[in-house]
Structure 1
Amino acid sequence: MEQRLRLLMFAGVFALLSGTAVLLVHLWPHVAWVWLLVKAVITPFIISLIIAYLLNPIVNLLHERNVPRGMAVIIIYFTFILMLVVFLMNLIPAFIQQSRELTEHIPELIQTYQLWLTEFHSHKYQLPEGVRIGIEQSLQNSEKRTADFFAGILDGAGGLIQKTIHLFVIPFLVFYMLKDMLMLQRGILLLVPRARRKVFSKLFHEIDVALGNYISGQLIICSIVGLLAYIGYWLIKMPYALILALIITITNIIPYIGPIIGAAPSILVALTISWEMTVLVVIVNLAVQILEGNLISPLIMGKRLHLHPLLIIFALLLGGEVGGLIGLIFAVPIVAILRVIIHHVIIHLVKH
C-alpha cells in the first residue's frame, strides 16, 4: 500500500510538471511580460519568506521564554547586523582586491588559452576549420563578458541603485512576517471552511516543515562546502581562493548542476598556472564534492524531502527554462510543496 502511494505521488508530480511544461511552451510568448512583472514584484517577498523561515525557529525559541515576538525579532536583527559588520569588515577588502586582480588577469588567461590552441593547431592533430573558428570566437567573447562581469561587481553602481529599494524593503517584510507569523497562519486558515481547517492545518504544517528543512539544510550545506573549498585552495596556495570559494558556495545552492558550474572557474584559472595546480584543484573539488555527497548532505538533509533524483533533475530543467537562475534555485522547493499537496490529495482519495 505504501509503495503504491509513493508511486502515485511520483506519477502525480511528474504529470503535473509535464503538463506545466507543455502549457508554458505554447503560452510563453504571450505571457512572458506577465512573468517579468510578477518576478519583479514577488522577488523581495520570496527572499523575505526564505529569511523568515530561517529565523522563525529562533524567534519561537525566544518567544517560549516569554520574550515578545517583536522584541525577539529586534534582538535577532541587532545580533545579525553586528555579526555582519564584523564579517564584512574582514572579508570585503580581500574580496575587492582579489576581484580586481582577477579582472586584470583575465586578458592574460585568454591569451594563454589562445597560445594553447595555436600550439595544438601546429601539431598533426588539426581541428576542423569551423570548430577552430568557433572556439576562437567563443574565447574572445568570453574575455569581454567575464571582464564586464567582474567590472560590474566593482563599478556597477547603477545596477546596485536599482536594487537598493529591495534592500530597504526586505528587512521590513521579514520583521512583519516574523512578528505576525502566527497571525498570518490563522488568517489563512480562516479562509478555509471550518470542516476542512484541521486537514489544511496539517497540510500547511507539512509544507512549512518541508520548506524549512530544505532552506536551512541547503544553506548550511553550501556554507560548509564553501568553507572546505576555501581551506583546500588555501592549502594548495591557489590564487583568488576567497572569490573562487565564494562562487562554489553560491552555485552549490543548485542541486546536482551547481557543483559542476562552481568548479569550472577554479579549474580554468588553474590551467593557466600549471598542470600540477590543475590536478590539485581537481583533487580539492572532487574531495569536497565526495564529502558533500556522501557525508554532509546525508547527515544534514537525510531523506527529508523524499524526492527521487530523476524528479529533481526534471524540475531543474523545467525551472531553468522558465526562470533561468532563479528557476533553478526554486525548482526543488516548489516540487517539495507539490509533493506534500499531492500526497494529501491521494490520501484523501484513498480514504473516500
Structure 2
Amino acid sequence: MLRTLRGLAHKYFSDEEAVILFLLLVAGTAFIIWFGAMLAPVIASLIVAFILQGLVTKLNRMGVPELVSILGVFTVFLGVMVGVIFGLLPLIWTQVSKLAGETPRIVREMQSYLELLPEQYPQLVSADAVNTIYQQVSTEVGHMTQLLVSFSLSSIPDLVALLIYVVLVPILVFFFLKDREVLLNSIARLLPPQRPMMLRIWHEVNLQCANYVRGKALEIVIVGGATYIAFKFLGMPYAALLSLLVGLSVVIPYIGAAVVTIPVAMIGLFAFGWGTHFIWVMVVYGVIQALDGNVLVPVLFSEVNNLHPVAIIVAVLFFGGIWGLWGVFFAIPLATMLKAVFAAWPVEYSVPEPAEDEAKA
C-alpha cells in the first residue's frame, strides 16, 4: 500500500510546481465554498470581464488603442445591462405573473385531458392513477403559487441585493478590464519566479475556458433570440419567458434541452390544443434545437475539446450538489477547466527507486 502511494506521488507530484498548484487549487476551492456567497458580486464581475476581454483583444488586434477598446466594450456592456434591467426583466416578470394567474385554468384543462386517458387506454391508465397525478400536480402548483406570493411580499431584501449588483458589478468589470495586467502581475508575484508548468496550464485553461464561456454567451443570445422571433411569429404565448428558458438551457447540454421542452410543449398544448398549430410550434422548436446542436455548436466551439456526455452529466450532478443552482449553471465551465488542468498536468512515468528499507526487505 505504501509503495503504491509513493508511486502515485512520484507520478503526479514529482514536480515542485505541481505540489504548489495542487495546494493553490485546494485553497481556492475552500475559499470559494466558504466565502463565495459573500463575494458573489466579485465572482460575477470576473466572469463578465472574462467574457468581454475577448472583444477587447479582438479590437486591439484590429489596431484600436487599448483604452478606446475598453471604453467601447464597457459602453456596450452598460447598454445591454440597462436594456436587460429596464426592458427584458419587466417583460419576463409580467409574463410570469400572467402565467401564475392562468395556472388554475391550465390545471383544469389538464384535468380534462387526464380524465380522457382511462377511457381511451383502459388497460394502461386507471382512474385512480389519474386522480393521484392530478392531486400531486395541484399540490405542486399550490406550492409554486405560494412561493410566488411570498417572493412578492418579501422582495425588499432581493431588491437591495439587486441594487448592490447593479452598482458594484459595472464598477468592478471596468477595473478588471482596465487593470487586468496590473492585477495579474500582482498575483504572479505571490508565485515562484520559475513556473513553466503553471504558465502552460494557465495558457491551456485560459484557451479552453475563454472559448467555452464566450461561445456559450453568444449561443445563449442567438438561440434565445431565434426562439423569441419564431414564437412571436407563431403567436405563442409567453414568448419572452419561454425564449429565456430555451436560451439558458444551452448552458447544460442534453439535460437543459430535455427539461425545457416540457414547459414549451405544455404551454403550446394548452394554448392551441391538439392540432396543426401545436405541431408547427413543436416542429419549429425542434428545428432550432437541431440547428443549435449540429450547426451553431460546431462553429462556436471548434477550438474547444468537447466533453463526453457522461462527463457532462457527472459534472452537473456533482457541482449542482455542492453549490445548488449556481453549481449547475457553471458545471460545464468548471469541468472544462478541470479537463484543461489534467491535460497539462506534468506526469512522471519513470518508476521511482525503492527506499533502502524496502530494498533490504
Under TM normalisation by the shorter chain, which class is it? 0.7 to 0.9
- Equivalent positions of 1:233-312 (< 5 A) are 233-273=231-271, 274-276=273-275, 277-302=277-302, 304-312=304-312
Whether the aligned pair in 2 keeps the contact of 1:270 and 1:281 (CA below 8 Å) is yes
> How has the CA–CA distance of structure 1 residues 35 and 73 changed in structure 2, closer, same or farther, with 3 Å as cutoff?
closer
Instruction: Select the structure of larger CA radius of gyration.
Output: 2
Question: How far did residue 174 of structure 1 move?
Answer: 1.6
Match of 1:116 among 106, 113, 117: 113
Question: How far did residue 230 of structure 1 move?
Answer: 1.7
Residue 191 of structure 1 aligns to a residue in which SS? coil
- Structure 1: give runs of 5+ residues left out of the alignment: 1-11, 13-33
TM-score between the two structures when normalised by the length of structure 1: 0.78
Whether the aligned pair in 1 keeps the contact of 2:212 and 2:301 (CA below 8 Å) is yes
Quote the sequence identity (%). Answer: 26
Q: Does 1:216 align with 2:225?
A: no
- 2:50 matched to which residue of 1? 53
Question: How far did residue 268 of structure 1 move?
Answer: 0.8
**Residues 293-339 of structure 1: per-residue CA shift (max 9 Å, x gap):** 11010111125134222222221221222222211221111122112
Residue 195 of structure 1 aligns to a residue in which SS? coil
> How has the CA–CA distance of structure 1 residues 164 and 93 changed in structure 2, closer, same or farther, with 3 Å as cutoff?
closer
Question: How far did residue 53 of structure 1 move?
Answer: 0.9
- Equivalent positions of 1:139-178 (< 5 A) are 139-148=137-146, 157-158=155-156, 159-178=158-177
- 1:180 matched to which residue of 2? 179
Write the letter of the residue equivalent to 2:330. F
Question: How far did residue 250 of structure 1 move?
Answer: 1.8
**Residues 209-239 of structure 1: per-residue CA shift (max 9 Å, x gap):** 1111011101111211112222222232212
- Write the distance in 2 (CA, Å) between the matches of 1:85 and 1:171: 11
> How has the CA–CA distance of structure 1 residues 230 and 151 changed in structure 2, closer, same or farther, with 3 Å as cutoff?
farther
TM-score between the two structures when normalised by the length of structure 2: 0.76
Question: How far did residue 248 of structure 1 move?
Answer: 0.9
> How has the CA–CA distance of structure 1 residues 162 and 79 changed in structure 2, closer, same or farther, with 3 Å as cutoff?
closer
Higher normalized helix content (fraction of residues): 1
Whether the aligned pair in 1 keeps the contact of 2:227 and 2:243 (CA below 8 Å) is yes
Question: How far did residue 90 of structure 1 move?
Answer: 5.4
> Which stretch shows the higher mean deviation, 298-307 or 75-84?
75-84
Match of 2:225 among 208, 224, 227: 227
**How many residues get paired?**
318
Whether the aligned pair in 1 keeps the contact of 2:78 and 2:170 (CA below 8 Å) is no
Q: What is the aligned-residue RMSD (CA, Å)?
A: 3.2
- Write the distance in 1 (CA, Å) between the matches of 2:40 and 2:110: 39
Match of 2:79 among 82, 88, 96: 82
- Write the distance in 2 (CA, Å) between the matches of 1:85 and 1:191: 38
